[in-house]
Structure 1
Amino acid sequence: MLTSADRSFYARQISLPEFGTEGQQRLQEASVLVIGAGGLGCPVLTYLAGAGVGTLGVIDFDRVEISNLHRQVLFSVADVGRPKAEVAAERLGTLNPNIRLKAYTEALTPDNVLRLFADYDLIVDGSDNFPTRYLVNDACLLLNKPLVFGSIFKFEGQVSVFNYQNGPTYRCLYPVPPAEHEVPNCAEIGVLGVLPGVVGTLQAVEAIKVLTGIGEVLSGKILVYDALRASFQTFRFAANPTTRQERGLRADYGLQCAAPLATEIEEVTYDELLELLESENPPFFIDVREPHEYDRFNLGGENWPLKTLPQHLPELLSHPDIVLCCQSGVRSRQAAELLAKEFPEHSLRHLRGGVGAWA
């Protein structure tokens, strides 16, 4: 039930006849998980918290960097180096202390995605890479969760709602992931700071519409915003029945595609790795796959899954020469970039193509 304090806090939207106390009550009873506390996630989280979504979760394993601040408006210079999810939850708590906030500082993987999504009514994807987008889509399909999607590229943004009332999914629109080299990330091509603010706000609007039942949801349609031309266009697309036949998650979403990382990480071939491991001064070798993948086939070394890597940072202080591997080379590059931020003087290399290319 709405208290008198709630009615005062949300008075301006409650006064809308289409919204009213019923809409506010629905938001209060709803739960939303936002993927990523970056350029898109920050405005989504801010406006959903302000709107009064009862339970708001955010998952992001990354830490605040100085280059984030021109677009990720929940953070300040004093937050550099801190976990984004934790800082975001703190800020949102000061904005609206009447909602429940949950921060997850782990990477989203096939091993945890179903568990994390299970407790939420709606998922909002603010991720910036294709492996995560396909993983989020497939998990939402398996759990029958609606998904609010947003993406940005240079001066253009896209917004849509997938898996809404058995509607089209992300794979209906983009059935085949792009090749790794085809799509650069914002670190390589840049991003206008206000663009994710526009797109993230539109995502928040769609989330509120889904949760309250007002308006016409962007299901089966994708809204494209062009900042340079100040134009909005809406395109319709149909559902593909074959994309709704998924019965489980894929084994390794990193095998399909990945957005290139900001830091250049040296690669080694399989033969070069074996030579290094057999040398008089071998590097510290880490396999960042999950234990069940490691057990099937491995080259030795420490088995520290990517999501657990932050807890091992103290152990790496005394290992200035590190080589990492995974199944496809995607997670090992992510791990190397994470370590490069913590240990800029360390030598960091990873196995080109992962063990899957050589096994």
Structure 2
Amino acid sequence: MALSEKEIQYFKNPIAVPGMGLSMQEKLKEARVLVVGAGGLGCPVIQYLSTSGIGVIGIADYGTIREEDMHRQPLYQLQNLKKYKATMAASRLWATNPFTKHYPLLLQVKPDNIGALLDGMDLVIDCSQHFPTHLIINDACVKHNKPFVIAEVHNWIAWWGGFNIPPADGSPAPTFRCAMDKIEEYRNFDAGAMSVTHGATGMHVVNEVVKYFIEVPGGLAGKLYSMDYLHNKMEIQQLEANSTILADTVAHGILTADDYGIEILPDIED
């Protein structure tokens, strides 16, 4: 997808980066990404996806902006309190980059709508930090053959991983369900939330997503990243597909809301 003259000027500096060039920037313009969650982690993710030149960003979030969350959601302003995050995010992002299509999706991700949300998307980034939502996205992406990224931030610790992305050697791709045992040690739900750890993690995630779309070898596929920001310690683990778990996921497909333990909320329009 060719860039316009205005886009070439806008992305002049990224295009000049060695290894990028016009063709790589055009690959980013062709990409379509669904981001679930526009909160503390979703904010930096959608901001840097947009400014990187991703062509289409779907922003799925039915929540509103709250004062106690502002410290880690700098995309919004105090005058936006009680407004829907997805709507305000799309508006603010367009004001920064009018070349990307930002679609606010004011809805709860659930078994009944996840298939429609994935339609036409090249990649999903789950920033919900909500375990049942992770499972819904995992099962739907396996069913519809979509690559996805899940990330969470807890206090000083963060993790993110690339799932359902076929390895270069053609072996089965690990999913979130395959990696749950490894991930559990990073899930700390003590009270509190830092701002900078969310921002830094969001940028790490988008950096890997950009590399994925411009086909840099390695990176996201089957990798689990963890970062201890307090002690400045990063770890990268290679994940392996669990054939039993994969077969079970394929056999059962997308489960019911009760199976996932998710409470279905009324639609925004109701």
CA contact (8 A) 1:40 1:197 kept: yes
The answer as to whether partners of 1:125 and 1:150 remain within 8 angstroms in 2 is: yes
- CA deviations 1:168-206 (Å, max 9, x no partner) are 11011016998xxxx775xx6111111111111111112
Residue in 2 that maps onto 1:218: 220
Q: 1:200 to 1:146 in 2, by over 3 A?
A: same
SS in 1 for 2:224: strand
Q: Deviations over 1:41-61 (max 9, x none)?
A: 111100110011111110001
* Residue pairs, 1:140-179, within 5 angstroms: 140-165=141-166, 166-174=172-180
Q: Which residue of 2 aligns with 1:11?
A: 12
Post-superposition shift, 1:311?
Answer: 3.6
What per-residue deviation string (whole Å, max 9, x for no partner) do you get for residues 214-244 of structure 1?
2422322211110110111112221111232
Match of 2:122 in 1: 121
Alignment-mate amino acid for residue 227 of structure 2: Y
Task: Give runs of aligned pairs for residues 1-359 of structure 1, distance below 5 A.
Answer: 1-165=2-166, 166-174=172-180, 185=189, 189-245=191-247, 246-247=250-251, 248-252=253-257, 255-256=259-260, 306-308=265-267, 310-312=268-270
Mapped partners of 1:65, 1:193: distance in 2: 15
Counterpart secondary structure, 1:34? strand
1:263-301 Cα deviation digits (max 9, x unpaired):
xxxxxxxxxxxxxxxxxxxxxxxxx76xxxxxxxxxxxx
Unaligned ranges ≥5, structure 1: 259-287, 290-305, 313-359
For 2:94 and 2:117, the matched residues in 1 are separated by 21
Opposite residue 180 of structure 2, the aligned amino acid is: Y
1:35, 1:127 within 8 Å by CA — same for their partners in 2?
yes
More displaced 10-residue stretch of structure 1: 72-81 or 14-23: 14-23
- When the two chains are superposed, the root-mean-square deviation of aligned CA atoms in Å is 2.0
Segment of structure 1 superposing worse, 168-177 or 197-206 = 168-177
- Distance in 1 between residues matched to 2:239 and 2:133, nearest whole Å: 22
Asked whether the 8 Å contact 1:149–1:203 carries over to 2, the reply is: no
Does the CA-based 8 Å contact 1:124-1:207 persist in structure 2?
no
TM-score (norm 1): 0.68
The AA in structure 2 aligned to 1:54 is G
Matched to 2:34, the amino acid is L
Q: Is the 8 A contact 1:31 1:122 kept in 2?
A: yes
* Partner residue, 1:277: none
Percent of pairs identical after alignment?
31
Q: Which amino acid aligns with 1:96?
A: N
Question: Which structure is richer in relative contact order (CA contacts within 8 A, separation 6 or more)?
Answer: 2
Any stretches of 5+ residues in structure 2 without a counterpart?
A: 167-171
SS of equivalent to 2:161:
strand
Of 215-224 and 103-112, deviating more is: 215-224
Shift of 1:7: 1.4
Count matched residues: 259
Contact 2:57 2:100 in 1 (8 A): yes
